[in-house]
Chain A
Amino acid sequence: MADFIKNPVVDLLDRNPEPVFSGKDLSFSKDEKAQIMKWVSSYPSKEGAVMHGLWLAQEKFGFLPPEVIQLVADEIGMPYADTYGVATFYTQYFKEKKGDYVLDVCTCFSCQLCGGYDILHYLEDKLGIHKGETTADGMFTIQEAECLGACGSAPMLQVTNGPYVNHLTPEKIDALVDALRDGKMPEFESVTLPQDEDELGGNRRTDVSLTPTYGVCPVSETLS
């Protein structure tokens, strides 16, 4: 956001981009279609399935160029324009091609105070790219993100809309990048607040082991 504040210019989007996918590549498999129809039928109106559909398409194609958004719209049976509006609203839907791993470094208030920008700049120096860019080998993209809702474990980052990496230090960044280069995604970790550990001997949430929400990484229920 920092650059936008210095130079608040919104550019016109490319209104007639070259299609990236076409022909046979641009289609859903039978299973994927069935999955989308299942989502469609589980909402009062079919438009409810749009975010699921877009997410599935992003998992399949890696990102969402206009022709993929059109494909999702046709599959769900809702207007292309509305689907496009939804896709551009959420930054987690990638409208252009990104690296294999997208590192969303949080620089919102809590993370910023705890050194979020230091982490961001360390990562930029390490990978030799600026935020918003992708490494030449197409492996990493660094993005600056607004609050990801993990202020208690600041500074933190998120890997490709998936697991969070908490309490970041330069050493942790080094280890993370090495692991990702080897193809190992970080594990989901359930973090408690420091004051809770003091008060309640480790974890105030006694139901962590019982409630799946707390123990499972909130990834999408996609097919692949």
Chain B
Amino acid sequence: MPTITIDNQNYEFEGRPRLLQFCLDNGVDLPHFCYHPSMSAPANCRQCLVDVGMPQMNRETRESNLDDDGNPIIQFMPKLQTSCSMDMTDGMVVKTHCSSDAVVRAQKDTLEFLLINHPLDCPICDQAGHCPLQNQAYKHGPESSRFEFQKVHKPKHVDLGPNVVLDAERCINCTRCIRFTSEISKSNQLTIIERGVKNYPMTPPGIEFDDPYSMNVIDICPVGALTSKEHRFGARVWEMSKTASISTVGSKGSNCYYWVKDNQIMKVTPRTNMSVNEYWLSDEERLDCDRFNKNRPTGPTVENAEVSWEMAYKAASDCLTGIDGSRALFVGSAYATVEDNYLLTKLATAVGAPTPVYLAHVEEGHADGWLKTDDRAPNSQGCERLGLHAADVKELKARITGGEVDVLYVLEDDIVAAGVCTAKQLKKVKVILHHYHTTNQTLPAADVALPAAMAVETVGSFVNGDLRAQRLRPAKSIAGVNRTLSMEIGKCRADAHGTPFDKWYNESNLVNCQPGWVSIPEIASRLGHEMQYKGPRNIMAELAESDSGFTGATYEAMGEFGVSLEPIGVTA
């Protein structure tokens, strides 16, 4: 197997990997700006320079020349090479900044050049704290600048499009954003204009940067030149906690991080999962923040009057006591987790009702073959696997308006907004509703309304449209639950080191809601059907055992990146 020597250490490799990527994969932290693993390497930032050599070869014998000690003589290239564009070959010897003073000096000088016209407005820059330029200037850069002249001023706060704002002064012209639009999203909306010190990325005249994936350039920008219009100046990066979870606007289940400050979702950024979304997120997934923060209920209600959780559970169980099971209708939800839907089916069975149905939320023509899907709910596949089927809206309507339903149990959905019936038509029906928002149109008709934890507040799992079971982790806490004690939550600095007396510590915006895996067993136990689960982890473990549709989908197996499930037809 071919070998390469990096900083006097030998590595074996296969194929022809690029040197920079190989170094990064093997823990050699080479500084770089313009290189991105998914795109071409133009080698224009010059930050990843290394010293590269090959064993000197005797032209006649075709063997390596040896020095006095019997070691091969290494012939280094006359100039330093950009490792991002360097293909590896057998016998190559590489010196990085760890072992070569020339490389240290080159990286330092490159940074000095990059910083000549950089405004150094880090104190007000959104990128500060997770800025490659800032980090690398601290790590590898010069102590100060020798450029004591006026810096070039370029356009600031330019709206490139509906979601992206440009600060051209901060740009170091790495062209990652341009390569993203030309190689990844293929919208070709950005270019570098002008030349020399005057150049900056821009859309050509008459073109707006309205790519549905435009906000990816914000993440890949190694400086704060491209920022989000929505999140700009919203929160510093160290004030937020970052929780690895999945996006829930469609059935793709793109892996993402939810960034939370003061229990509010501030932004959503992609999490690399090469089996699902690679490095990217669509703009609609990124802008999916307000839903979690606004119009949230303040507590459970019975007959539209706020009550305690105890009373609400009691009222709900009263509604389900002594009913004719065939005249009860349970509606599951493609927005709710597999676990919650599973518990709902158990509850339905317990009261003798038929298997729940769910409402499909399909928007024809929304899909683009990439991350956007026609199915606008995250867990339709999970429902299908549990034996729930998409409801025929007309049939449901006929049943409800025809007086065939006495009790309607709606899990985390909005049956009125879905067009099944009007709130008035539900007057004679006992309605139990788990709801996310006070804008839920079924709410006025609900006899018992239980605020439900949304995908960012609960523990659970979703099955995406490509049959991949993935876990949700709670990014924000809910009222009455200590956020660090709740399972697998992302910690921010305040969680790790803070006390309640720190000024950044905040208990505001806690929503008084409960996840389905808490509230459904509560109702069931009041009906005399104990559901003995410690938490969703146990529920999923039971499902993985008992249900062939979920074989192998335990929390341990799903881990960070999820597991692929077998198609139902094969296993059933």
Residues of A within 8 A of B (CB): 8-17, 66, 69-70, 79-85, 88-91
Contacts and interface: CB of A to CB of B under 8 A. Distances in A.
B202 to A, nearest CB: 7
A105 to B, nearest CB: 20
B146 interface: no
B206 A15 contact: yes
Contact of B155 (A10, A79, A91): A10
Nearest to A11: B155
B205 A13 contact: yes
Given A10-B194, A70-B206, 13 more contacts: A8-B197, A9-B152, A10-B198, A13-B202, A80-B188, A81-B190, A81-B191, A81-B203, A85-B192, A88-B193, A88-B194, A88-B195, A89-B193
Nearest to A15: B205
Nearest to B155: A12
B207 A9 contact: no
Residue among B154, B181, B192, B193 with the highest chain A CB neighbour number at 10 A: B193
A10 B171 CA distance: 13
Contact of B191 (A10, A66, A85): A85
A82 B203 CA distance: 10
B158 A14 contact: no
A84 B194 CA distance: 9
Top 10 A-B pairs, shortest CB-CB distance: A85-B191, A79-B188, A84-B204, A12-B155, A81-B191, A66-B205, A8-B152, A88-B193, A10-B154, A9-B153
Interface residues of B, number: 28
Nearest to A85: B191
Given A10-B200, A12-B155, A66 B190 contact: no
23 contacts: A8-B152, A8-B153, A9-B152, A9-B153, A10-B153, A10-B200, A12-B158, A16-B205, A16-B206, A17-B205, A66-B204, A80-B188, A81-B181, A81-B182, A81-B203, A81-B207, A83-B204, A84-B191, A84-B193, A84-B204, A85-B191, A90-B195, A91-B195
Nearest to B159: A15
B151 interface: yes
A81 B206 contact: no
A91 B193 CA distance: 12
Nearest to B152: A8
B168 interface: yes
A75 to B, nearest CB: 16
A83 B206 CA distance: 14
B340 to A, nearest CB: 47
A100 B152 CA distance: 32
A70 B204 CA distance: 10
Contacts of A14: 205
A87 to B, nearest CB: 9
B115 to A, nearest CB: 16
A79 B182 contact: yes
B150 A8 contact: yes
B189 interface: yes
Interface string B174-198: 0000100110000011111111011
Contact of B151 (A8, A81, A83, A84): A8
Contacts of B178: 81
Contact of A13 (B151, B152, B189, B193): B193
Contact of B188 (A9, A13, A81): A81
Nearest to A12: B155
B235 to A, nearest CB: 28
Contacts of A69: 204
A15 B203 contact: yes
